[in-house]
Structure 1
Amino acid sequence: MVAENIDDVVDGLAEIVREAVRTGDRIGYFAALYRQVTVEVRKTIHEDLFDDGPRMDRFDTHFGNRYFEAYDAWRRDRSGPRCWRETFGLLDDADTVIVQHLLLGVNAHINLDLAVAAARTGPGADIHGLRRDFLLINDILARVVLAVQDSVDALSPLLSLLDKVGGRTDEQILDFSIRQSREEAWYNAVLLAGQSEREREATLERLDIRAAVLARLIARPTGIVRPALELIRRTESGDVPTVITHLDRAMERSST
């Protein structure tokens, strides 16, 4: 699928979520999170809170198409960027817990795709004009992540074990990862925006390899995190359609 605007991105993600609910496919976990973020970005555009709403529509469309391209490549012949292959390759792994699936999607989409989308939206020196709107999305993400984290807590009652073994609260797990990754993505976006085509190819190769390594660390952590994740897995919901639906309605519940 190819999106022409942010409405198409929302519709495309909604279709992936619906199909995932129907088939019990864990690909719907991250798609549900991503759909809600995109809906909130669209709302912010309509409320004229960005410096340049039409530019942010283009930005979000580029960003969404990166995900759709990876999704289509995986569905077609298990191809696509390394980091997305690592992410999609774990969809059938029942040992991977809900929060890991979310973090795997966040890792691939932000540590690789976000910089590409930003550089395409603001090539050359134009990238610097995108900075304020880019940062504003952090506030949008924080709202959505808080709501989704509440859903994950309800579905995965022992997730708080990661407080003790990971050194941060369960509410911070997703938010921390996203904010840290977005800062690095901005640096890489500025880099890509000023590079030649050959230089961009080398940078994208480096970013993809790094994100793929991070995906393996998320999927198979070492040390005391591993037994904690095993306990989490045993107690969290294994009903994939129900989990997707619960995640996809997180923002609705938070506004009531």
Structure 2
Amino acid sequence: MAQSEHLTIPVGTVGSVDSVGAVDSVAARMRALDAALPARDGVAVFNRVYLAVTEEVGRRLDAGGFADPCAAAALDVRFAERYLAAVAAAAGEGRPPACWRPLFQLRRHPGIRPLQFALAGINAHIGHDLALAVVDTCRTLGCPPAELEDEFDRVGDLLVSLEERIREELMPGPDVLQIADPLTHLLGSWSLERARDATWTAARALWALRSCDDVAEEFTDRLDAAVGFAGRMLLIPLPD
């Protein structure tokens, strides 16, 4: 096993979201991961994308781009901790959530293109982690999801704009990517905007179920499995 797979990234504590500096802290942990992983590793591909998002959130927080910077920072940190916990689980003795397993299992497959790795990570993080991060943040701040909707939308808009950029950067050139290329059809089957809308609904449902532990746990497990299935489809090896 490569040394980079043993990298330990500690998950932050609830008290770490009392300042926007916590966003810089999780960004630093992503930079450490980026330095430790081979560039072509599928997790490294997603990590670079997510690091760009986190750094942009930090810049907007510093510039006063959020009406409630405390809530925005709390959501961003809770969100990042879900991903970093999955990385730590995969690197150690733990077991990451089902939504992340396809990416960790196939991270070195030579038949999977970088854009597929990036979108599979976005699928896991948006489709599963974000809903749970909203609930984590609501519990931390003592507020219902409706009070985080503006921050959720602003972060979501940033993710959508970044998705467009990474498609441009990681998509093969027009001389390679033809209309019949399997990647064209694969990418057309998944939408970040639809995933974000579904995530907000899932977060509200989980909040409503917070006093029904068994039902909430079953709902979370089903969500995890469904997002993991979609991720495996995004990582189907494609011919050159």
Fold equivalence (TM over 0.5) = yes
**1:162 and 1:169 in contact (8 A); partners too:** no
Aligned pairs (5 A) from 1:1-256: 1-3=10-12, 4=16, 5-21=22-38, 25-77=41-93, 79-123=95-139, 126-153=144-171, 156-157=172-173, 161=177, 163-164=179-180, 173=187, 177-195=191-209, 196=211, 197-220=213-236, 229-231=238-240
Q: What is the DSSP-based 3-state SS (H/G/I as helix, E as strand, rest coil) of the residue aligned with 2:239?
A: helix
- 5+ residue gaps, structure 1, are 221-225, 232-256
Q: What is the DSSP-based 3-state SS (H/G/I as helix, E as strand, rest coil) of the residue aligned with 2:204?
A: helix
- Quote the RMSD (CA, aligned, Å): 2.6
Distance 2:101 2:119 in 1: 14
The structure-2 alpha-carbon separation of the partners of 1:187 and 1:89, relative to structure 1 and needing over 3 Å to count, comes to same
Identity score, percent: 25
Q: Aligned residue for 1:246?
A: none
Q: What is the DSSP-based 3-state SS (H/G/I as helix, E as strand, rest coil) of the residue aligned with 1:83?
A: coil
After the TM superposition, which of the residue ranges 116-125 and 31-40 deviates more from structure 2? 116-125
The structure-2 alpha-carbon separation of the partners of 1:230 and 1:132, relative to structure 1 and needing over 3 Å to count, comes to same
**1:104 and 1:218 in contact (8 A); partners too:** yes
Q: Aligned residue for 1:236?
A: none
Distance 2:127 2:101 in 1: 14
After the TM superposition, which of the residue ranges 120-129 and 37-46 deviates more from structure 2? 120-129
Q: CA deviation at 1:138?
A: 2.7
Distance 2:155 2:185 in 1: 22
The structure-2 alpha-carbon separation of the partners of 1:53 and 1:162, relative to structure 1 and needing over 3 Å to count, comes to farther
Distance 1:182 1:163 in 2: 27
The structure-2 alpha-carbon separation of the partners of 1:14 and 1:164, relative to structure 1 and needing over 3 Å to count, comes to same
Greater per-residue helix proportion: 1
The structure-2 alpha-carbon separation of the partners of 1:137 and 1:131, relative to structure 1 and needing over 3 Å to count, comes to same
Q: CA deviation at 1:141?
A: 1.8
Q: Aligned residue for 2:4?
A: none
After the TM superposition, which of the residue ranges 111-120 and 72-81 deviates more from structure 2? 72-81
Q: CA deviation at 1:78?
A: 6.0
Q: What is the DSSP-based 3-state SS (H/G/I as helix, E as strand, rest coil) of the residue aligned with 2:144?
A: helix
**1:160 and 1:169 in contact (8 A); partners too:** no
Distance 2:170 2:27 in 1: 22
The structure-2 alpha-carbon separation of the partners of 1:163 and 1:46, relative to structure 1 and needing over 3 Å to count, comes to farther
Q: What is the DSSP-based 3-state SS (H/G/I as helix, E as strand, rest coil) of the residue aligned with 2:106?
A: coil
Question: So what's the TM-score if we normalise by structure 2?
Answer: 0.81
Distance 1:42 1:169 in 2: 35
Q: What do the CA deviations read for 1:183-229 (whole angstroms, capped 9, x no partner)?
A: 11000011111212332211110111101211221122xxxxx7xx3
Distance 1:91 1:9 in 2: 22
Letter in 1 for 2:137: T
Aligned pairs, number: 218
**1:112 and 1:207 in contact (8 A); partners too:** yes
After the TM superposition, which of the residue ranges 161-170 and 7-16 deviates more from structure 2? 161-170
After the TM superposition, which of the residue ranges 40-49 and 123-132 deviates more from structure 2? 123-132
Letter in 2 for 1:207: L
